[in-house]
Chains A and B, each alone.
Chain A
Amino acid sequence: MIAAGIDVGAVATKAVVVKDGRIIGKAIVLTGFEQKASAEKALAGALKDAGINRDDIEYIGATGTGSNTVDFAQKTFEDVTADAAGIILVCPEARTVIDVGGEESRSIFIDGNGNVKDFALNEKCASGTGAFIEAMALALEVGVEDIGELSLAAEKELEINAQCVIFAESEVVSLIHAETPKPDIARAVNEGIAARIVSMVRRSGMEDTVAAVGGVANNRGFIDRLKSRLGRDVVVPEDPEMVGAAGAAKLVIP
C-alpha cells in the first residue's frame, strides 16, 4: 500500500511517499504564499524521488499550518498527532518528541503506538522557533544553515538574556560591537533556544528516548545545547523535517 504525506509548514512544505511503512521518496520546497501550489510541487518531487506516478498513490494525508489548503488530501491531521505517528515510523523507541519548526515548537509525550499522552506548544512568540535562529543569523551575517557548526566552535559560554526575538537581536548586535567572536554568539543563540524548549519539554513530561524533529533539529549546535540542558541523549532521525509528513502518510491509511 502506497500513501503520501504532505506537511505544509510556515517556512517549508515537505512531502513523503510511504510504501509498507517505509519512506521511499521525499521532497522539500519553500512554502511561500501559494500553499496549495507548494504542496503540489512537494508531492511531485516526492513522487519523482520514489520513481512512481500520482496514480500509484492510494491515500494522501496532510498536516501542518497550511494543511487545510491541501484539498486533494483525503484527511488532515494536527501537527502533534502527525509527529507522534511519524516518529514511530523512523524511531520506534522514541517516547518524547521535540519538534522545532519555522514558527512553532512543540514537545510531545507519546506511547509505544504513537498515541499522544501529553503535549506542550510554544505560545504566540518567535523565541524557541526557527524564526528566532533566522533573525539571529541575519544579525550575525551568517547563513542560517551555518549557525550550528559555528556554535560548536565556541570557546566561551555567553548568555543572551532577552527572551524576545526583537530584544535578543539588539543584544546580539551589542555583542558584535563588543567584538565578541561569532561562534560564542552563535552558541549563546542556541543555548537560549534550548532553554526555552527545555522548559516546554518539562511541561509535557519526558521519558527516554528523546527525539528531535523539525527543521531546527538539523542545527547540530542546538542539539548539543539541548542534550546539555536535558542531561540526556537526544536522537535526531534522518531527515528530521520529514517526520510530520511521514506521520500524515501513516495516519491516512485506514
Chain B
Amino acid sequence: MRNEWGSLILNDYYFGGEWPAPDFYYMNHICCVHSKWYQIMRDLDKRKHGLDIPFFSIDVSVGLYDDLSDSKIDYVAGQYLDAIEWMEKVTGRKYDDEKLFQAVYNECRSTSLWAEICALNQAKPAPLDEKSMYALYVLGTLNKASKEFADFYEVLRDEVRDRIDSGIAAVSTERFRIMTDSQPPWSVLKIFRYLEEYGVVSIGSLYTFALIGIWDTLPDGTIVPAKTPQEEGITFKSREEAVRFIVRWNLKKLTWEQFYDSRSRAARVVQIARQWSVQGMFMHLNMGCEGTTIGNLESRLALIKEGIPVLTYEGNMADDRQNDDAGTLKRIDIWLKSLGLDKVKT
C-alpha cells in the first residue's frame, strides 16, 4: 500500500508513467485495515488530483463457517448483487453474467487446486518448501478468477505429483519437518535457506495453505481441498446462483476463522501439524499484520500440548527495521541444536 500511496501522491506510478487513477475502488472487508487502505486512496485521489472516484466495500465478516446460516449468506450475497448494479451505474456498462459464471468456475478451480498442491506436501520428502510456495501462491492472490492462472495451477499440481512419484525433495537432506505461522519477514526469506542447512523443510502454514486455498473439513477435522462446482456437477443458470456459490465458497476460508475465534485457529494449526507430520513450529510474532497474528500464541500453546516444540521470534513482514536477522538465526541454531540437530554436511 505504501507503493500505491506513494505513486498516487507523487503521480509517478511504480510500473512507469503517471498514476493510473482507477474508475472505481471495490473491496471486500474482513481485515481491519483493508477497506481503510482504499478509503485513503480515494481521499488522496480527491485531494491530490481532484478526482471523485467511487468506492464500494463489502462486509464479509459473518462469523465461523460452522455457524453459517442462509441469512448470513443472504447478507453477503446481497452486497455482491448490489455491487454489480452499482458497477453498472458507475461504469455505464452492462454486466456480463456469462463472464461472472466463468470467473466463479475459474476461481474455484484455482483455489481448490492450490489446496490440492499444499495437500500433496504431506508426502515425505516434501516436494515443495514454503519459500518456493510463497512465490507460487501469489498468482492466486492477484487474479484467481483468470483461466490462465487456474490452468497454471493444474500444471503445477501435475508437476508436484511428478516430483512425489520421482522422489524429488524440496530439501534433499530433509530430516525435520516444520511449519510456520503468519506471513514471514519478507526481507529475510534467507532464514528458510538457513533452516535447510540443518535438513529442515518448512512444509507450509495455515497462512500459506489458506490465504488463497479453499478447504473442506471432514467430520473428523481432516482438511481436504474443497470440491469445485465442476466436480459437484453444478452449472450456474443465474447471477444470484453464481454469487451465492462464490460467497459460500469464500466464507470457508480458513484464514478468516482467526478473526472470530483463536480456539478454531489453534485447532486448525494442530490439525495441519498432524496431517503434514510436522515436528516443530517456527512462529513469526509478526508485528506487521494483526490479522494473521491474532491468536498465534494460543496456537503455540495448543502445539506444545500436542508435544510439538515451538520457536517464536519477533519481526515484521512490512518493516524490516523491526527484524533482528542475526538474532533470529541465533535462535534457530539454539533451537535446532537443543532438538539434537546439527548442520548437515553436504
Chain A residues within 8 Å of B, Cβ to Cβ: 78-81, 115-119, 121, 123-124, 203
Give A96 Cβ to nearest chain B Cβ, in Å: 15
A78 touches B309 (CB 8 A): no
Stretch of B105-113, B159-167, B190-198, B325-333 at the chain-chain interface: B325-333
Bound: A123/B333 CA distance, A: 16
Most-contacted residue by chain B among A117, A123, A203 (CB, 10 A) = A123
With A123-B314, A123-B324, A124-B314 in contact, is A118–B334 under 8 Å at CB? Answer: no
With A118-B309, A123-B324, A124-B324 in contact, is A81–B314 under 8 Å at CB? Answer: no
Name the interface residues of B295-346: CB closer than 8 Å to any CB of A: 309, 312-314, 322, 324, 327, 330-331, 333-335, 337-338
Q: Which residue of A lies closest to B309 (CB)?
A: A118
B324 touches A81 (CB 8 A): no
A78 touches B314 (CB 8 A): no
Bound: A123/B311 CA distance, A: 13
Q: How large is the interface on B (under 10, 10 to 19, 20 to 34, 35 or more residues)?
A: 10 to 19
Q: Which of chain B's residues have a CB closer than 8 A to the CB of A118?
A: 309, 338
B338 touches A121 (CB 8 A): no
Q: Show 18 residue pairs from A and B whose CB-CB distance is below 8 angstroms, ordered by the A residue.
A: A78-B330, A78-B337, A79-B334, A81-B337, A81-B338, A115-B338, A118-B309, A118-B338, A119-B338, A121-B327, A121-B331, A123-B314, A123-B324, A123-B327, A124-B322, A124-B324, A124-B327, A203-B312
Q: Which of chain B's residues have a CB closer than 8 A to the CB of A121?
A: 327, 331, 334
Given contacts A81-B338, A121-B331, A123-B327, 7 further A-B contacts (CB under 8 A): A78-B334, A78-B337, A116-B337, A117-B338, A119-B334, A123-B314, A123-B324
Bound: A216/B322 CA distance, A: 26
A81 touches B309 (CB 8 A): no
Q: Which of chain A's residues have a CB closer than 8 A to the CB of B313?
A: 123
Give B232 Cβ to nearest chain A Cβ, in Å: 46
B324 touches A78 (CB 8 A): no
Query: How many pairs, one residue from A and one from B, have CB atoms within 8 Å of each other in the complex?
Result: 32
Bound: A117/B334 CA distance, A: 11
Bound: A123/B323 CA distance, A: 10
Give A182 Cβ to nearest chain B Cβ, in Å: 34
Bound: A117/B335 CA distance, A: 9
Bound: A124/B314 CA distance, A: 8
Give A161 Cβ to nearest chain B Cβ, in Å: 21
Q: Which of chain A's residues have a CB closer than 8 A to the CB of B331?
A: 121
Q: Which residue of B lies closest to A121 (CB)?
A: B331
Q: Which residue of B lies closest to A118 (CB)?
A: B309
A116 touches B314 (CB 8 A): no
Give B311 Cβ to nearest chain A Cβ, in Å: 9
Q: Which residue of A lies closest to B322 (CB)?
A: A124
Bound: A81/B324 CA distance, A: 21
A80 touches B327 (CB 8 A): no
Please pick, from B322, B324, B330, B338, the residue contacting A116 in the complex, using a CB distance under 8 A: B338
Q: Which residue of A lies closest to B321 (CB)?
A: A124
Q: Which residue of A lies closest to B338 (CB)?
A: A116
Bound: A78/B334 CA distance, A: 6
Q: Which of chain A's residues have a CB closer than 8 A to the CB of B330?
A: 78
Please pick, from B312, B314, B338, the residue contacting A80 in the complex, using a CB distance under 8 A: B338
Bound: A118/B339 CA distance, A: 9
A80 touches B324 (CB 8 A): no
Q: Which residue of B lies closest to A120 (CB)?
A: B312
Q: Which residue of A lies closest to B330 (CB)?
A: A78
Bound: A115/B324 CA distance, A: 26
Bound: A123/B287 CA distance, A: 12
Q: Which of chain A's residues have a CB closer than 8 A to the CB of B333?
A: 78
Give A204 Cβ to nearest chain B Cβ, in Å: 11
Bound: A145/B324 CA distance, A: 30
Bound: A119/B338 CA distance, A: 9
Bound: A117/B333 CA distance, A: 14
B334 touches A81 (CB 8 A): yes
B309 touches A80 (CB 8 A): no
Q: Which of chain B's residues have a CB closer than 8 A to the CB of A81?
A: 334, 337-338
Bound: A9/B331 CA distance, A: 17
A116 touches B327 (CB 8 A): no
Bound: A116/B338 CA distance, A: 5
Q: Which of chain B's residues have a CB closer than 8 A to the CB of A80?
A: 334, 338
Q: Which of chain A's residues have a CB closer than 8 A to the CB of B309?
A: 118
Q: Which residue of B lies closest to A79 (CB)?
A: B334
Name the interface residues of B73-107: CB closer than 8 Å to any CB of A: none
Q: Which of chain B's residues have a CB closer than 8 A to the CB of A123?
A: 313-314, 324, 327
Give A127 Cβ to nearest chain B Cβ, in Å: 13
Top 10 closest A-B pairs, CB basis?
A116-B338, A124-B324, A123-B314, A78-B334, A80-B334, A78-B333, A124-B327, A81-B337, A121-B331, A78-B337
Most-contacted residue by chain A among B309, B333, B334 (CB, 10 A) = B334
Give A73 Cβ to nearest chain B Cβ, in Å: 16
Q: Which residue of B lies closest to A205 (CB)?
A: B304
Q: Which residue of A lies closest to B340 (CB)?
A: A115
